[in-house]
A = this chain, B = another copy of it.
Amino acid sequence: MGRRKIEIAAVKDPNTRQVTFSKRRTGLFKKANELSILCGAEIAIVVFSIGNRPYSFGHPGVDAVAAKFLRHETKSNDVKQNNVEVGDISRLNQQLLDIEAQILVEEKKGLEHDQILKQHQLSQPSQFKQLQDSYLELQRRVKDYTDAIEVSECLILLAQQPVVEITKQVKKRRKN
């Protein structure tokens, strides 16, 4: 959509990225506005720049739409618990892709943290104690999450094989 075709991949140059972010964010909000007018739809958008600066658009308002969404979401979750559909498999797969993408984002953030930490090494000792505690807590959470994934693996295995084989594989994995 410009002079040259660009690949949809992270823009490295910070300056170019900032310009692209600003332009595309404007374009996105314009599209959202058109959608709400053309189709009588309610819409809310929240964007965080790479520097964690928040931008939002909403019709009739971000908070109103968000609240509405949360209300609907909890209801539909309750229904799904009791009502099984075959299409869930593909949605599961989709969720997996989403999580993978999220993990990638977190990896990048971790690296950014490292950069920032380097720049602030010796400036605020008392706050670093706080940070360290947060990191340790965070690591614990990630570990728990990893365990949860393991449980999921076991369930998949359960779906494919006679149960006898499972325990071996699980224990083998645990030792790793």
Chain A positions near chain B (C-beta within 8 angstroms): 6, 8-11, 17, 20-21, 24-25, 27-28, 31-32, 34-35, 37-50, 52, 54, 56, 59-62, 64-66, 68-70, 72-73, 81, 84-86, 88-89, 91-111, 113-125, 127-132, 134-139, 141-146, 148-153, 155-160
Contacts and interface: CB of A to CB of B under 8 A. Distances in A.
Contact of A91 (B52, B69, B93, B141): B52
A10 to B, nearest CB: 6
B39 A21 contact: yes
A135 B159 contact: no
B109 A99 contact: yes
Given A102-B102, A138-B99, A88 B8 contact: no
Contact of A42 (B31, B48, B64, B69): B48
A109 B149 CA distance: 10
Contact of A103 (B62, B114, B118, B141): B141
Contacts of A35: 21, 24-25, 28, 47
B48 A46 contact: no
Given A115-B81, A135-B96, A145-B103, A20 B46 contact: no
Contacts of A144: 107
Most buried by B among A44, A115, A125: A44
